[in-house]
Structure formats: C-alpha cells, structure tokens
C-alpha cells in the first residue's frame, strides 16, 4: 500500500529546504537531504525511495543491516551511518555504508580504514564535534579536533568530507545558530590546514533547526521526524 504520508512529508521537507536555501541566498542545489530512517520500517524507506530519495541515515547497526538486506534490490541507495560507533562494530559499518558521520576518536577511524573493502573505494567520513560542550554528548572536543583530523587525513581508505554536530536543542534561532556557526568555523580552519582533503561537507541541521543550519552553511541536513513522523521511544 503506497504511503501517501511519506510522499507528502518528503515533499514538504524538500520545499522547506528549498525555502531555507533561498532565504540564505544560496543556490537551490547547495545542500542535500539525508532521510533519517532509524526505527522506521524498510517499507517506509522503499516508499521514500520511490519518491526519488536516495540518501538514508541509520543509527543502530543491527537494525540497519536488517533493512539493508530487505532492500537489497534498491542498489542505488546511499547508506549513511550516523549513530554512536563502538570499535567491535566497525567492520560491518566499513563493509555496508558509504558514509560515516559519527567519528570521534582515532581508534575507530583506524579500524574503519583497515576494514574498508578495497572494491568499495574510500569511505566518506565526517568527524563528530561536541560543539555544545555538554559532558554527556558524544563528539570530539573542539580542542582535540585538529589532532584527530591529522590522523584521519593520513588514513588511506577514508576520505575526510567534513564535520557533523548534534547541538543541544534550543528554542530561538539565535541560540540555535551559535554552535552551528562554530562548527562551520572549525571546518573552515581544517580546510586551510588540510587542502589535500575534500572537507566539503557540513552535516548539521535536523527537523527543529534546519533553517538555522542552512543559514550557517549546512550542506547536508539530517531529517527524521519531518519526513517519517515521530519515533516511538526505544525500549
Ligand atoms: C535522529 C537523528 C536525526 C534526526 O532527528 P529529527 O529531529 O527526527 O529530524 C539527525 N541526526 C542524528 C545523528 C540523529 O540521531
């Protein structure tokens, strides 16, 4: 049964992104939409794919692998791993994803590079930065970012595409923009230091702060709720 709701909310999300880019004075193709499908069924992903969505983000490895095998016939899906990553899970991620957004330590990066199958080409990676400075949040501290970037740039099977952040939620646009602006500055600094890396990606902006993120230069926004609806709490 076709899911009218996914089609409509995807349409609305695309319009929202287009409006945000226009308000920011940026070209219409300057940012892309990552559909965050964690906890959502393979059928909903298939429906979004039928509406030309190709990039999907998953947080939980086993859940993602199950959906990937269910959707193996959709060979043009681009899978992004965006969740916390433990070192005993790196092989499956290296073998089954095109992107990883959540690298926050060198050990994980080294393992991903070692375990990346040569036939797949380099794995696209973003470093996750803790721009809100909360103890509990994952991500590398800004002070440690340069050392991590130096290691990642030197790894043969990773391609350092940029930075990712999940800032603390904030109500007003000005408060939302501060950590996002910080992430952009950190990315710009890395770009000067590591001209050999692409560093073309700012993975920031979710359902509640997409407009702020686009104003601050996001190139890839990660939308879950806005596309697939609210998620049930995980047991
Ligand atoms: C869940 C999740 C999102 C999507 O969040 P929404 O608020 O539902 O749009 C984006 N990025 C990451 C890393 C997530 O875990």
pLDDT tens-digit readout, 138-181: 899 999 999 999 999 999 999 999 999 999 999 999 999 999 99
User: To 10 degrees, the CA torsion angle through 132, 134, 137, 139?
Assistant: 50
CA–centroid distance, residue 224 to ligand 1 (Å): 5
Strand 55-58 relative to strand 32-36, pairing: parallel
Closest CA to 160 of 168, 172, 147, 151: 151
- Predicted confidence band of residue 20 (pLDDT cuts 50, 70, 90): very high
The residues facing 221 across adjacent strands are 33
The pLDDT value given to residue 134: 72
Residue 208: Cβ within 10 Å count:
15
Average of pLDDT values for 196-213? 98
Answer whether residue 2 shows pLDDT above 80: no
Q: What's the pLDDT band for 1 if we cut at 50, 70, 90?
A: very low
pLDDT at 232 (0 to 100)? 81
> Which of the four pLDDT bands, split at 50, 70 and 90, describes residue 233?
confident
Q: pLDDT category, 132, cuts 50, 70, 90? A: confident
Average pLDDT value for residue range 113-118:
98
**How many angstroms separate the CA atoms of 76 and 189, rounded?**
34
Q: Whose CA is nearest to atom 13 of ligand 1?
A: 82
DSSP-based helix, strand, coil % in the chain, nearest 5: 45, 15, 40
**55 CA to centre of ligand 1 in angstroms:** 14
- Substitution site in 224, 227, 228, 232 for ligand 1 pocket (most atoms within 8 Å of beta carbon): 224
What token pair was written down for 230?
Answer: 């609210």
What's the CA gap between 190 and 184, in Å, rounded?
Answer: 10
Exposed/middle/buried for 105, CB within 10 Å: 0-12, 13-18, 19+?
Answer: middle
Give the DSSP letter of residue 129: B
Q: How much distance in Å is there from the Cα of 36 to the middle of ligand 1?
A: 6
Alpha helices (H) in 87-126, listed in sequence order: 90-96, 106-115
Task: Work out the mean pLDDT of the chain and round it to a whole number.
Answer: 95
Residues in the chain: 235
CB-hemisphere CA count at 13 Å for 234? 6
pLDDT at 3: 60
235: pLDDT strictly greater than 60: no
Give the dihedral sign, CA 110/111/114/116.
Answer: negative
Q: Ligand 1 pocket: which of 138, 222, 227, 229 to mutate (most atoms <8 Å of CB)?
A: 222
State yes or no: pLDDT of 234 exceeds 70. Answer: no
Fill in the DSSP letter of residue 83: S
Cβ neighbour number for residue 119 with a 10 Å cutoff: 5
Pocket test for ligand 1, best of 55, 57, 126 (most atoms within 8 A of CB): 57
Please say if the pLDDT value at position 72 is more than 90: yes
Q: Bin 180: left if φ > 0, else alpha if -120 < ψ < 50, else beta.
A: alpha
Within 6 Å (CB) of ligand 1, which residues are found?
36, 38, 59, 82, 166, 206-208, 222-226
C-alpha 157/C-alpha 190 separation (Å) is 19
Q: Are 93 and 112 in contact (CB under 8 A)?
A: yes
Average of pLDDT values for 113-127? Answer: 98
Looking at the CA of residue 34, tell me the nearest atom of ligand 1: 10
Q: What is the mean pLDDT of residues 32-57?
A: 97
pTM for this predicted structure: 0.96
Distance 196 CA to ligand 1 centre (A): 30
């Amino acid at each position: 049964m076709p899911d009218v709701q996914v089609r409509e909310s995807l349409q609305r999300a695309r319009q929202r992104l287009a409006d945000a880019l226009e308000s920011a004075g940026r070209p219409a193709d300057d940012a892309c939409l990552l559909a965050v499908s964690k906890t959502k069924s393979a059928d909903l992903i298939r429906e979004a794919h039928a509406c030309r969505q190709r990039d999907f983000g998953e947080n939980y490895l086993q859940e993602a692998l199950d959906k990937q095998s269910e959707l193996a016939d959709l060979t043009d899906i681009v899978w992004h791993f965006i969740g916390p990553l433990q070192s005993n899970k790196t092989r499956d991620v290296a073998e089954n994803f095109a992107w990883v957004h959540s690298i926050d330590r060198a050990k994980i990066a080294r393992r991903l590079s070692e375990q990346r199958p040569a036939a797949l080409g380099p794995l696209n990676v973003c470093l996750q930065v803790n721009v809100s400075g909360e103890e509990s949040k994952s991500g590398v501290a800004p002070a440690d970012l340069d050392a991590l970037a130096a290691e990642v740039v030197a790894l043969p099977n990773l391609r350092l595409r940029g930075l990712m952040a999940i800032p603390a939620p904030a109500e007003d646009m000005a408060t939302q923009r501060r950590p996002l602006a910080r992430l952009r500055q950190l990315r710009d600094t890395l770009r000067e230091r590591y001209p050999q890396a692409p560093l073309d990606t700012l993975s920031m902006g979710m359902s509640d702060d997409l407009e702020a993120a686009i104003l601050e230069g996001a190139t890839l926004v990660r939308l879950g709720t806005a596309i697939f609806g609210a998620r049930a709490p995980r047991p």
